[in-house]
Structure 1
Amino acid sequence: MSKLGWMIAAVLVAGAGAFVWQSTRTGPGPNGHSMTPPDTSDIADGAAIVAVSVPDDLSSLAQMGERAFNAKCAACHGDDAAGREGKGPPLVHKIYEPSHHSDMAFVMAAKNGVRAHHWRYGNMPPVDGVTDADVKAITAYVRALQKENGIF
C-alpha cells in the first residue's frame, strides 16, 4: 500500500476510535456537561426544578424579555426560567450556558422547535407569535438570570 493509502487508513482508524470512545463515555462531557438528564423524580409535577436568584436590576432589554418570557415561555420553562417538572427544563442551568447553547440556539428553538436531547420532557414545539426581537429580549433576560446564578 502507498504512503497515501496508509495515511488515509490511519485517519479512518483514529476517527473510528474517537467515535467509539465518545459514544461509550459516561459522566460529564465537554465543559462539565452530562448528556444524561438530571434525576428529577423527587420533584412534584409542575414544581420548579431549580432555585433561581433574580437580579436586583435588569437592563431595559432584559425587562422586555421578562415580559415576553412570562407570556410565551413560563408555562413550560417556569417562573424565572426555573423549569417545571413534567413540562419543561430550567434555562437557568449549566446546560444552557452560552458556551454550550449560544444565543442563536434560543432563536432557532423558538422558530423551529427542538428535539429533546438533554431532558426527558419531549420535543419543544416552535413558539407561535414570537419575533426574533422577542427572542433576543428573552435571551437577554435568561442570560441575566444565568449570570446572577453563576452561569456564564
Structure 2
Amino acid sequence: MNRKYLLIGACAVATAAAYIFLRPAPVDDVAQSAPAEGNAMVAIQMPPIEGNAAIGQRIFENACAACHGSNAVGIEGAGPPLIHVIYEPSHHADESFQRAVAMGVRSHHWKFGDMPPVEGLTRGDVAMVIDYIREIQRANGIN
C-alpha cells in the first residue's frame, strides 16, 4: 500500500479520535440546573387524593414541599420536581425514596446540591408520601 494513503488514513483516524475525546460533553436533557428561584418547575394535573395518599400529601406538604414544591412540582433554585420521568418507578423504585429520606442522597440528576436526610419521618410516613407521589405521577402519565 502506498505510504501516502497510509499517512492520510492515520491522520483521519487521529482526527476522528481527537474529535470524539476532546469535544464538549453533550447537553444532558435530564441533568438540569434551576434557572431562577421560586417558580414551580413543571405543570401537572392533580388527581383526587384519598386514603393513605391523602395522609402522605399532608406529610409531604409539611416535610418536603419547602424544597420539592407543593404537589411535588419542584421549586427552581430549591429542589427538583418528583413528578418527572426521572422518578418513575422503574428508575427510582420506592426504596430509593425511603433511602433518600433516611440517609440523604448525593446530587446526581439535578444541580441543586445534595439532599440531606429528613429527620422525624418513619418508613410508614415515607410509604404514604410515596403513595401520594405515585398517584400524581400516574395521573400525569408517569408509570
Aligned equivalents of 1:76, 1:50: Cα separation in 2? 14
SS at match of 1:38: coil
1:49 to 36, 41, 55: 41
Which aligned pairs between 1:97-112 and structure 2 lie closer than 5 A?
97-112=88-103
Aligned equivalents of 2:34, 2:111: Cα separation in 1? 10
| TM-score under structure 1 length normalisation | 0.74
What count of residue pairs does the alignment treat as equivalent? Answer: 120
Q: Deviations over 1:77-107 (max 9, x none)?
A: 0010000011100000000000000000000
Aligned equivalents of 2:46, 2:51: Cα separation in 1? 15
| TM-score under structure 2 length normalisation | 0.78
1:64 to 45, 55, 60: 55
Aligned equivalents of 1:138, 1:67: Cα separation in 2? 8
Amino acid at match of 1:128: E
Aligned equivalents of 1:129, 1:64: Cα separation in 2? 15
* Superposed CA RMSD: 1.8
Which aligned pairs between 1:69-88 and structure 2 lie closer than 5 A?
69-88=60-79
Check whether the contact 2:33–2:112 (CA below 8 A) recurs between aligned residues.
no
SS at match of 1:45: coil
Q: Any unmatched runs of 5+ in structure 1? A: 1-24, 29-33
* Segment drifting more, 84-93 vs 57-66: 57-66
Q: CA deviation at 1:27?
A: 7.0
SS at match of 2:40: coil
Q: Percent identity?
A: 47
Amino acid at match of 1:46: G
Q: CA deviation at 1:39?
A: 5.5
Q: Deviations over 1:54-91 (max 9, x none)?
A: 10x22301000000000000000001000001110000
Q: Any unmatched runs of 5+ in structure 2? A: 1-24
Partner of 1:38: 32
